[in-house]
Structure 1
Amino acid sequence: MQVTETLAEGLKREIKVVIPKRDMEAQLNVRLADAKDKVRINGFRPGKVPIAHLKKMYGKSIMADLVNEIVRERPTEILTDRGEKSATQPSVAMTEDENEAEKILNAEVDFEFTLSYEVIPDIELQSTDGLSVVREVVEVTEDEVNEQIEKIAESARTFETKSGKAADGDRVTMNYLGKVDGVAFDGGTAEDAELVLGSGRFIPGFEDQLVGVKAGEDKTITVTFPAEYPAANLAGKEATFDVTVKEVAAPAALEINDELASKLGIESVDRLKEIVRGQIESQYGSVTRQKVKRQILDQLDGMYQFDTPQGLVDAEFENIWRQINTDLQQSGKTFEDEETTEEDARVEYRKLAERRVRLGLVLSEIGEQAGVEVTEEEMQRALYAQLQQFPGQQKEILDFFRNTPGASASLRAPIFEEKVVDKLLSEIKVTDKVVTKEELMAEDEEGSESAEKPAKKKAAPKKAAKAEAADEAAEGEEAAAPKKKAAPKKKAAEDSAE
């Protein structure tokens, strides 16, 4: 096999590979000899089929398998011999001439193909002695824990039927039929729908008009759907709802005690408080972690500047750009609405893609030299977390990860990078700073803007804008979440009135 480098320009490489026809024919003959004792052909005893006859019948198909095997396996061997790592799967180019291909299958000419790829650049790691971060810490107060428990108790509050008029805080059970321009619309009908007045679950004005109703009363409510309502056929439209009140119930006393904890499956109210405190600390800890990680990434970004493989940058940019356009479409906005243009946005998000790729390569090199590994147990936990996100689709998810090449990398990469960050945190100077929850959250929003986006620019698709090189998914989902929660989904019709 002859290997000749035909291009070495920056990170781009092109390799011409030639396997002489005599070598191809020799490998073909080996496989034909192996097949001789296995095939069964009428007129020949087992193992007595002439090689020439086998070659005539099966030579081309065996040679085709051999060519595919060479194209699949040799690139990895060639890169290993050259001491190179390809940023993406090398591109393989072979002849497209049918006559030439026929000659290759007949072992009449040399088999030639070309590898094109980009190498991962050599990264000389620098000392981490100068790195330092400020870790903001929020001390969870007893009042905050009690406030959260009151919300939990509120959600578990029972109601008792009353005979008087419905007041704010009462629960109304009703049937309703929604209409726009006198015509009922999909999702606008519900039976035995329960609504706590003042909860803000339904669209503005709906709950206010139920204050004062009694059980057995019929009432027509007129409201206007918000202009930004998700259903385009209802957004901004005036609608009427024919409501029949079936029951009015007053809330029972709100008591925080062991009985409440027992209803929630917890042994005592003290244990409930411990759990709630732990949840709050975990939430703050996640924000703190992202801010610390951002500080590390920003400092690494200043320490390392090198050419990035454009194939990786292109792929990262396409992921970002796809999310950008999805977010704009869902919000009904344009780039102009966000005080920018598509051209300028492309430039800025291209820079973001380059930053992510560069920092990803740096973290990978740090982890590799430090011997960071992802265990099978950690991979299994990550897979289980994926399965929990898609109830009822566990089989499809498992099949995807089993049958899709490289799919497991999407589980491994974030685990690996978090372990690299832990490694860095064990080496650099970390200063704890006690802050309020307002300071933690407010500064997080401001920091994310300055870390990843140019100043003086608002970008609606904050999923990509807020995200860091290694943790965009964790931050992004929260950034793009709707500000108003939908009502319980046990009745699909209720969603339209919310």
Structure 2
Amino acid sequence: MQVSVEKKEGIHCVLNIELSASEVDQEVSKRIKKIAKTAKIDGFRPGKVPAGVIKKKYGEQIRFEVLGDVLPQKYTKAIQDENLNAAGVEIEITQNEEGKEVKFNVDVELFPEIEVKNLDQIEVEKPVVELGQEQTDKMIDNLRKQLASWDVVDREVQKDDRVTIDFVGRVNGEVFEGGSANDSEVTIGSGQMIPGFEDGIIGMKKDEEKTIKVTFPEDYQNEELNGKEAEFDIVVKEIKAATLPEIDEEFIKQFGIKGGVDEFYAEITQNMARELKAAKQRKTKEQVFEGLKKAIDVEVPKALVKKEIDRLKKDLLKRLGGNGAKLKIEDLPDNLFEEKAKDSVKLGLILSAIADQQSFEADQESIDALIEEMASVYEDAEEVRQHVKNNKQELENIKAVVIENKLVDWVLEQAKVTEKEEDFFELVRNTMPSS
């Protein structure tokens, strides 16, 4: 085998590979003889079919199969011999005739060499959040609202009421698709409708009709309505007020908490502290990752992007479950996933480069601490500890998180870090992990 390397710019290079005619022709002949021993062809007894007949009938297919086996072996060895860190390959056969050398080119897409720099340009706002009695009381009030009973009332609509309404929406005087509904239930102050809609219902009475004016947000899910002014004709059909349950033994039992009111408050406060820690970590980490992607230039290999696109497609089909039963992976166009895939691959390459260059390791103390933090959420913490420690995949995930946390801390030491006061509930809501 002869190999020459044709360097290209960036993350590409081409290997020109030439195989002697015998390297392929001998393997083709061997397979033809093997097939001839068992082939069944009209006019010939089994095992007595001449090799020439097999060659004429199946020769092209056999040669194709031989190349499919031989070429990957050859270019893999060539890539190893040239010490190339390949992310993907594309093959082009330039000569393929019996009795002649087999020539082919291998376009090798390399993993990029990443220069970790400009970390001092990364800006991170660390959340500063007050978590005291006021926040605990609000959380418990929210829990009470979840278990509230609703009773019809004969008065004006107030905040926190649940109303049943009919509405018709218009933009520029024209009714728009999705802007009308009958018997729609809306909890006033919940934020389930666009800004201004729920506020416009406050003060209305049963059977009252009213037209309110609102403006769609600039980032509204329907881009055609972004930033547009709209009018909604609203009719209130029913008004219900919530009756909140008392914080008693029966109420506490519904949350699986053992003990009385003091234990309930303590448990809620502890859970909130755990949620806050996780939310602060998620927001900080998200800013670090976004900063790294902006600060560090990376030429992303197309082969890796394609793999990530395929992974995203499979993940979507899995999440769709029965709803996507008729949908196949080939039905999903790549461009729907390309931007997210590029973003993900770029970040992965950067994180991998930093971890390798800084030699971050998952030390046992950090692993144990993270396992303990995870287990503390569950009633049978010891069972969870043992499950994680005895599950190879779970343990690898823990180690990856430990290294990722160390990497984030290292970047923060060099980044521009400021503090920003935030509300507990908004922070937790806005940093909820995506499904």
Match of residue 360 from structure 1: 352
1 CA distance for matches of 2:158 and 2:422?
A: 38
Residue number in structure 1 paired with 2:301: 312
Could you report, residue by residue, the CA deviation over 1:394-418 in whole angstroms, capped at 9, with x for unpaired residues? xxxxxxxxxxxxxxxxx99998753
- Cα shift at 1:44: 1.4
Choose from 150, 166, 176 the match for 1:175: 166
Separation of aligned partners in 2, 1:418 and 1:363: 12
- Describe the shift of the 1:32–1:420 C-alpha distance in structure 2 as closer, same or farther (beyond 3 A): farther
Shift of the 40–85 alpha-carbon distance from structure 1 to 2, 3 Å rule, reads same
**Matched-pair contact (CA < 8 Å) for 2:136–2:265:** no
Q: How far does residue 293 in structure 1 lie from its aligned partner after superposition?
A: 9.6
Counterpart AA for 2:84: E
Q: Whole-Å Cα distance in 2 between the matches of residues 289 and 198 of structure 1?
A: 27
| 3-state DSSP of counterpart to 2:23 | helix
Paired AA for residue 33 in structure 1: K
Q: Which residue, 228, 233, 237 being the options, matches 1:236?
A: 228
Give the letter for the 1:175 counterpart.
Answer: D
Q: Residue 403 of structure 2 aligns to which amino acid in structure 1?
A: V
1:398 match:
none
CA offset digits 1:46-83 (Å, max 9, x no partner) = 21111122111111111012223333343222223444
**What's the secondary structure of 2:155's corresponding residue?**
coil
CA contact (8 A) 1:137 1:288 kept: no
Distance apart, 1:28 and its partner CA: 0.5
1:298 and 1:371 map into 2 onto residues whose CA distance is: 26
The match for 1:406 is none
Q: Cα–Cα, structure 1 residues 286 and 4, in superposed 2: closer, same or farther, change >3 Å?
A: same
Instruction: Sort the Cα spacing of 1:223 and 1:354 in 2 relative to 1 into closer, same or farther, 3 A.
Output: closer
CA distance in 2, matches of 1:123, 1:209: 54
In the alignment, is residue 158 of structure 1 matched against residue 123 of structure 2? no
Q: Structure 2 vs 1, CA of residues 293 and 173 (structure 1 numbering), >3 Å: closer, same or farther?
A: closer
> Counterpart of 1:94?
93
The structure 1 residue matched to 2:209, chosen from 219, 232, 247, is: 219
Residue of structure 1 aligned with 2:401, choices 418, 423, 429: 418
Give matches, 1:291-440, under 5 Å.
291=284, 310-312=299-301, 357-364=349-356, 417-421=400-404, 438-439=420-421
- Within 5 A, what are the aligned runs for 1:447-462? none
Distance in 2 (alpha carbons) for counterparts of 1:17 and 1:93: 10
Match of 2:84 in 1: 84
Task: Tell me the SS of whatever aligns to 2:53.
Answer: helix
**Which whole-Å deviations, capped at 9, do the CAs of 1:291-322 have from their partners, x for residues lacking one?**
479889999x99xx9xx984539978xx9xxx
AA aligned opposite 1:285: A
Q: Are 2:29 and 1:36 aligned? A: no
Q: Distance in 2 between matches of 1:282 and 1:36?
A: 70
Structure 2: how far apart are the matches of 1:180 and 1:369? Answer: 58
Contact 1:226 1:236 in 2 (8 A): yes
**Between Structure 1 and Structure 2, how many residues are aligned?**
347
Aligned to 1:341: none
Checking the alignment, whether the CA contact within 8 Å between 1:11 and 1:309 is kept in structure 2 is: no
What aligned pairs does 1:113-128 form with structure 2 within 5 A after superposition? Answer: 113-117=104-108, 119-120=110-111
Length-normalised TM-score, structure 1: 0.54
The one of 257, 274, 278 aligned to 1:281: 274
How far apart are 1:252 and its partner, in Å? 1.5
Q: Secondary structure at the match of 2:301?
A: helix
3-state SS of paired residue (2:178): strand
Structure 1 counterpart of 2:101, which letter? D
Q: d(CA) in 1 for partners of 2:46 and 2:232?
A: 85
1:53 counterpart residue number? 53
Question: Could you tell me how far apart the structure 1 residues matched to 2:300 and 2:191 are?
Answer: 48
Deviation at 1:27, TM superposition (A): 0.7
Report the CA distance between 1:211 and its aligned residue: 3.5
Aligned mates of 1:260, 1:208 — CA distance in 2: 31
Return the alpha-carbon distance in structure 2 between the equivalents of residues 47 and 371 of structure 1: 64
Pairwise CA distance, 1:241? 1.0
Shift of 1:41: 0.8
The residue number in structure 1 matching 2:193 is 202
RMSD: 5.2
CA distance in 1, matches of 2:75, 2:229: 61
1:18: Cα distance to partner? 1.1
Q: CA deviation at 1:368?
A: 10
Shift of 1:31: 1.1
Displacement of 1:365 in angstroms is: 6.5
C-alpha contact (below 8 Å) 2:127/2:421 kept by paired residues: no
Structure 2 gap ranges (5+):
116-125, 309-341, 365-393
1-structure distance, mates of 2:256, 2:284? 35
Query: What SS does structure 2 have at the residue aligned with 1:363?
Result: helix
Q: Secondary structure at the match of 2:92?
A: strand
State the match for 2:102 in structure 1: 111
Partner deviation per Cα, 1:57-112 (whole Å, 9 max, x = no partner) = 111111012223333343222223444321x21232322xxxx54xx2xx121101
Equivalent-residue separation in structure 2 for 1:368 and 1:44 (angstroms): 68
Cα gap change, 1:9/1:180 in structure 2, threshold over 3 Å: closer, same or farther? closer
The TM-score, its normalising length taken from structure 2, stands at 0.61
After TM superposition, give the deviation of residue 180 of structure 1 in Å: 4.6
Q: Which has the higher strand share?
A: 2
Q: Which amino acid aligns with 1:312?
A: P
Percent of paired sites with the same residue: 23
Unaligned 5+ segments in structure 1 are: 125-134, 320-349, 373-410, 446-476, 482-498
Partner of 1:69: 69
Equivalent residue letter for 2:89: P
